[in-house]
Amino acid sequence: MLTELRVELAERSYPIRFGTQLAPTVAGQVEAWQAQGRKVAVVADVTVARLHAPWLEAAFPGCPVLTVPAGEGSKTVAGLGQVLEFLATQRLDRGAVVAAVGGGVIGDLVGFAAAAFLRGVDFVQVPTTLLAMVDSSVGGKTGINLAAGKNLAGAFHQPRAVYIDTGFLATLPQREFAAGAAEIVKYGLLGDAALYAELAARPLVEAGDVRTAAIVRQCCALKAAVVQEDERETKATGGRALLNLGHTFGHAVEQVTGYKRYLHGEAVGLGLAAAARLSERLGLLAAGEAERIETVVADHHLPVRLEPSLELPALMAAMQRDKKVRAGRLRFVVLAKIGDAQTKDDVEPCAVEAVWREVGAA
């Protein structure tokens, strides 16, 4: 059954289509574009291309496909260049459409390439991981990592459509599913206390859970509402920045470990534990609440401690290279209560250092 949710952004509005076995739906849209004289090219994660070759062939018949390695190693300047050269080699013009088929890395990389190629061509998102389905495929944030930090180069470039086929989750490794669950827990913490309570009572730990499709849609609706209110994260407080709950800590962990030890969602899970501890230390959450949040995170098979430990100076330095730094000050997302987050930019470094030590920094 095909259902739809719209992200309302005036002339940049677009649909998110949900279902299973969506290849014929995608193929119908591809055929319509081609009838208009528009070329369509595909960039896919090599693992997805191998596991889901029949889906790709059915959805994008006859379209050129570039496959790139899975993982953060592709989300680089070199990876961006590879995609741009592919688009140029296919002689795409400004009427072309590029499809990103894969997880968050592919969506971010291809979205940025689409924003840059010929100063901007259309693209569509076909997320294949839980994390990409509930978070990164929606909202138009695209980008790559630099040696200095996570997502330091990028652009806001909204997709023309997002196709969420939850059938892809059947082949998703358990570790990747858990990484996606981190973003779901995040949404409960920052804006949906009922969702968080449900996850606390009954963790979402496998794709076969009958709640999976509904929870994916629920998270997309939450993100769409935030993006519609603050598309380019320009609000002085709150707004789209709230979606970074756990990410300031998590991005530092990823950067210090060279994007090799933790999946993005695993680093976010650890970051949620750290953000909860910071919120409690600042007197926003009641005593003991951070520990209870850690239990929920851990119940979703996510880390809440650095193992092995990382050096505190390196983590603090990585935070200062975060793109959310303003006038030398970091903006943290903290919890006023479950389901209610806020931004805070007057956090003393000593409090942050104390939190890092609590989650295992040396």
Based on the residue annotation, tell me whether 264 is a catalytic residue of this protein: yes
Q: Look-up: residue for tokens 């975060």? A: 322
**CA 330/CA 276 separation, integer angstroms:** 17
Given a cut of 90, is residue 18 above it in pLDDT? yes
**CA 270/CA 250 separation, integer angstroms:** 7
Per residue in 205-228, pLDDT (tens digit) is 999 999 999 999 999 999 999 999
* All structural domains of the chain with their residue ranges: 3-171, 174-358
**CA 122/CA 313 separation, integer angstroms:** 42
For residue 193, give Cα distances in angstroms to 200, 281, 337: 10, 21, 9
Per residue in 22-61, pLDDT (tens digit) is 999 999 999 999 999 999 999 999 999 999 999 999 999 9
Based on the residue annotation, tell me whether 300 is a catalytic residue of this protein: no
Q: Which of 231, 233, 254, 294 is catalytic?
A: 233
Q: Look-up: residue for tokens 């827990």? A: 185
Q: What pLDDT is recorded for position 328?
A: 73
| CATH code at 3-171 | 3.40.50.1970
Bond from prior residue into 308 cis (ω within 30 degrees of 0): yes
Per residue in 161-180, pLDDT (tens digit) is 999 999 999 999 999 999 99
Based on the residue annotation, tell me whether 141 is a catalytic residue of this protein: yes
Give Cβ neighbours of residue 193 (< 8 Å, ≥ 6 apart).
337, 338, 339, 340
Average pLDDT, the chain: 96
Per residue in 295-342, pLDDT (tens digit) is 999 999 999 999 999 999 999 999 998 877 776 788 999 999 999 999
**CA 159/CA 273 separation, integer angstroms:** 32
Give the pair of three-digit tokens for residue 225.
């509402």
Percent of residues, the chain, with pLDDT higher than 70: 100
Read out DSSP for 332-356?
EEEEEETTEEEEE----HHHHHHHH
Q: Domain 174-358: give its CATH superfamily.
A: Dehydroquinate synthase-like - alpha domain (1.20.1090.10)
Alpha carbon of residue 152 to chain centroid: 15
Give Cβ neighbours of residue 221 (< 8 Å, ≥ 6 apart).
5
Based on the residue annotation, tell me whether 157 is a catalytic residue of this protein: no
- Candidates 136, 200, 233, 131; CA nearest to 338 is 200
Q: Which of 52, 186, 217, 240 is catalytic?
A: 240
Based on the residue annotation, tell me whether 119 is a catalytic residue of this protein: yes
**CA 99/CA 30 separation, integer angstroms:** 10
Based on the residue annotation, tell me whether 260 is a catalytic residue of this protein: no
Give the pair of three-digit tokens for residue 238.
């709150």
